[in-house]
């Protein structure tokens, strides 16, 4: 049955993408988007600020600096995002980072307990000369040549740490695996599912008869000589309306927008406001669901309003949906909504009154692996007090280098963003990020990790963002659980409820927009 009344729960990027594409797919259906906050966009937050700086002649000038309170870049493979950029007329606002730039080529690690940064090699020469070689090279050789490490069964799952530890060794898994997980999920790699979070890794291992390295090399050969088989599932997807954006992505590492990814939110809200059959309700949360006699549903909100729905879309965090369903006894229950945890982080924007070269090397930024004693010493013996990285810094983005084109008149300022928390907050002695009281300790930590020869300058501006449960941790067995959830939705809810978002199919901006794009294709 074609939908007549669609209610979308949640006004983050996933819910907005759903509303946009459903309005195009079902122009005669009434669409209502319900968001509990007074502002749309979830954790996507962009802000432009003006700071006073010194100009080339030694006088005063004003720099315009863009701050991101959440995600800041998107990879060019995120075709659903590029489609939105095209359809919302945002192509002139694209900010592109070429693969040839220092921001794309240079990424660093800070190893807890050491001074300064180590560049992660991006070539064979770099692999042989990097200070990280004593961990990286043995791990690569172990994976490439070790026998008896064949591919796991297709339906098997394990943590990222377990997967990398078996193939590359425990030191490699802790150093590189945990750091990468910190950068993407702000989570513990010993908990995160490798098949849900990084499906390419087990696929490469399968292709390489148990070796990720051999699988990657073989994939490269297939690509160069055109030997690979086409992915029929990908070929079945509807074509994206990319306009000029596809040509602009040649040789691109990542992209953003002139005024940040928040431009997507603003443009979507504006566009949806122009569509007569779409209504956006802000500052009002769904509190109750009930069935209607015709097989549809009613949604009651905190304000007492009632919305009729022939079809529902939930872009809510899964635990929030669980609370709503549990409090509505007339609707079928849903499994696994509370199976996964989520990471809480503090994200801190700094603007310093100096050129970037004064603070950090050219590059995208650095990540900090899990300390050898665990988070705040959690894995150390009881009589040990070793606490490396006690403030819980996961990584730092060198924004002035990574996205310099977003700022104007900013040659003499440095913009960086520090990300803290995640698994450190579940440790026995978690750090505190109350208000801005931790900022002085954070500045000392940055000074030490960057191994600066002189004290870090007093910042011109500090902006702290507290994000509670912002990134779902897709635990081991997640894909199986989501298949079971999908079966219940089809059988018990007659396919009239679609559950999507970061807690289901991926946490990146691209994955969230894609899930919204695919809603309703079977209605």
Tens of pLDDT, residue by residue over 21-61, are 999 999 999 999 999 999 999 999 999 999 998 776 777 88
C-alpha distance across the termini of the chain, in Å: 7
Alpha-carbon 145 to chain mean position: 33
Cβ–Cβ contacts within 10 Å for residue 312, how many? Answer: 24
| Pairwise CA distance, residues 3 & 30, whole Å | 9
Tokens for 428? 């026995």
Whole-number mean pLDDT of the chain?
Answer: 92
Choose the weakest-confidence range: 106-110, 325-329, 476-480: 325-329
Q: Are 130 and 281 in contact (CB under 8 A)?
A: no
Q: Are 6 and 313 in contact (CB under 8 A)?
A: yes
- Supply angle C-alpha 291, 297, 298, rounded to 5: 100
Question: Does residue 414 sit in helix, strand or coil?
Answer: strand
| Pairwise CA distance, residues 260 & 267, whole Å | 12
Question: Does residue 224 sit in helix, strand or coil?
Answer: helix
Name the pTM for this structure. Answer: 0.94
Which domains does the chain possess? 5-42+261-338+475-518 (3.50.50.60), 46-103+341-472 (3.90.660)
| Pairwise CA distance, residues 523 & 515, whole Å | 15
Query: What is the DSSP code (8-state) at residue 475?
Result: B
- According to the model, what pLDDT value does residue 486 have? 97
Over residues 54-71, the mean pLDDT reads 88
Read off the pLDDT band of 387 (50, 70, 90): confident
| Pairwise CA distance, residues 379 & 371, whole Å | 9
- For residue 236, pLDDT over 60 is answered with no
Indicate the length of the chain as a whole number.
Answer: 523
By the 10 Å C-beta count (0-12 exposed, 13-18 middle, 19+ buried), 447 is classed as: middle
| Pairwise CA distance, residues 291 & 385, whole Å | 57
- According to the model, what pLDDT value does residue 192 have? 98
| Pairwise CA distance, residues 339 & 165, whole Å | 25
Cβ–Cβ contacts within 10 Å for residue 291, how many? Answer: 13
Q: Which residues pair with 342 in a beta bridge?
A: 472
Which one is predicted more confidently, 122 or 349?
Answer: 349
Task: Give pLDDT tens digits for 319-370.
Answer: 999 999 999 999 999 999 999 999 999 999 999 999 999 999 999 999 999 9
Read off the pLDDT band of 427 (50, 70, 90): confident
Alpha-carbon 57 to chain mean position: 41
> Strands, DSSP E only, in 267-341?
278-282, 286-291, 297-301, 306-309, 311-314
Q: What are the start-end ranges of the H helices in 353-477?
A: 399-402, 439-449
- For residue 232, pLDDT over 50 is answered with no
Task: Give pLDDT tens digits for 302-317.
Answer: 999 999 999 999 999 9
Task: Give pLDDT tens digits for 481-510.
Answer: 999 999 999 999 999 999 999 999 999 999
31: which residues sit within 8 A by CB, 6+ positions away?
A: 6, 7, 8, 19, 22, 23, 277, 278, 279
Q: Which residues pair with 347 in a beta bridge?
A: 419, 465
| Pairwise CA distance, residues 374 & 395, whole Å | 16
Choose the weakest-confidence range: 103-117, 140-154, 205-219, 329-343: 140-154
Closest CA relative to residue 501, chosen from 316, 249, 340, 337: 316
- For residue 235, pLDDT over 50 is answered with no
- For residue 231, pLDDT over 60 is answered with no
- According to the model, what pLDDT value does residue 185 have? 98
Q: Write the DSSP assignment of 503-523 as a string of letters.
A: HHH-SSHHHHHHHHHTTTTT-
Q: Are 400 and 358 in contact (CB under 8 A)?
A: no
219: which residues sit within 8 A by CB, 6+ positions away?
A: 204, 207, 228
> Is the four-CA dihedral 478, 479, 481, 485 of positive or negative sign?
positive
| Pairwise CA distance, residues 374 & 423, whole Å | 10
Tokens for 135? 């961990």
- For residue 228, pLDDT over 80 is answered with no
| Pairwise CA distance, residues 493 & 38, whole Å | 30
């Amino acid at each position: 049955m074609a939908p007549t009344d669609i209610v979308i729960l949640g006004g983050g990027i996933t819910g907005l993408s759903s509303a946009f594409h459903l309005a195009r797919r079902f122009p005669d259906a009434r669409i209502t988007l319900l968001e509990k906050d007074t502002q749309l966009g979830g954790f996507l937050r962009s802000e432009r600020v003006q700071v006073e700086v010194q100009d080339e002649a030694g006088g005063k000038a004003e720099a315009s600096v863009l701050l991101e309170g959440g995600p800041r870049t998107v990879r060019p493979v995120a075709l659903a995002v590029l489609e939105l950029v095209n359809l919302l007329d945002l192509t002139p606002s694209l900010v592109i980072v070429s693969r040839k730039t220092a921001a794309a080529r240079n990424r660093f690690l800070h190893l807890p307990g050491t001074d300064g940064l180590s560049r992660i090699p991006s070539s064979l020469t770099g692999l042989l000369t990097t200070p990280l070689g004593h961990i990286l090279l043995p791990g690569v050789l172990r994976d490439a040549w070790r026998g008896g490490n064949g591919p796991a069964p297709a339906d098997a799952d394990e943590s990222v740490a377990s997967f990398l530890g078996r193939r590359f060794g425990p030191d490699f898994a802790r150093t590189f695996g945990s750091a990468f997980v910190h950068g993407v999920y702000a989570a513990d790699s010993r908990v995160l599912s490798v098949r849900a979070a990084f499906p390419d890794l087990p696929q490469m291992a399968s292709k390489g008869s148990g070796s990720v390295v051999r699988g990657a090399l073989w994939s490269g050969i297939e690509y160069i000589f055109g030997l690979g088989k086409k992915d029929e599932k990908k070929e079945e997807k509807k074509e994206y309306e990319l306009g000029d954006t596809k040509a602009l992505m040649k040789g691109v590492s990542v992209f953003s927008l002139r005024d940040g990814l928040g431009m997507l939110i603003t443009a979507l809200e504006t566009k949806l406001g122009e569509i007569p059959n779409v209504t956006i309700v802000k500052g009002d949360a769904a509190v109750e669901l009930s069935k209607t006699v015709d097989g549809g549903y009613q949604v009651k909100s905190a304000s007492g309003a009632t919305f009729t729905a022939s079809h529902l879309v939930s872009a809510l965090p899964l635990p929030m949906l669980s609370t709503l369903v549990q409090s509505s006894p007339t609707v079928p229950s849903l499994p696994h909504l509370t199976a996964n945890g989520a990471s809480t982080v503090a994200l801190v924007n700094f603007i310093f009154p100096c050129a970037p070269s004064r603070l950090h090397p050219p590059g995208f930024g650095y990540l900090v692996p899990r300390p050898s004693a665990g988070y705040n010493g959690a894995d150390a013996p009881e009589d040990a007090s070793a606490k490396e990285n006690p403030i819980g810094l996961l990584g730092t983005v060198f924004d002035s280098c990574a996205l310099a084109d977003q700022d104007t008149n900013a040659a003499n300022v440095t913009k960086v963003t520090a990300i803290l928390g995640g698994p450190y907050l579940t440790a026995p002695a978690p750090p505190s990020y109350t208000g801005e009281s931790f900022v002085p300790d954070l500045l000392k930590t940055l000074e030490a990790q960057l191994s600066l020869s002189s004290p870090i300058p007093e910042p011109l501006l500090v902006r702290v963002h507290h994000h509670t449960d912002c990134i779902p941790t897709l635990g081991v067995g997640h894909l199986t659980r989501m298949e079971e959830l999908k079966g219940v939705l089809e059988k018990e809810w007659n396919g009239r409820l679609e559950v999507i978002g970061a807690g289901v199919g991926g946490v990146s901006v691209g994955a969230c927009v894609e899930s919204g794009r695919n809603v309703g294709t079977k209605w």
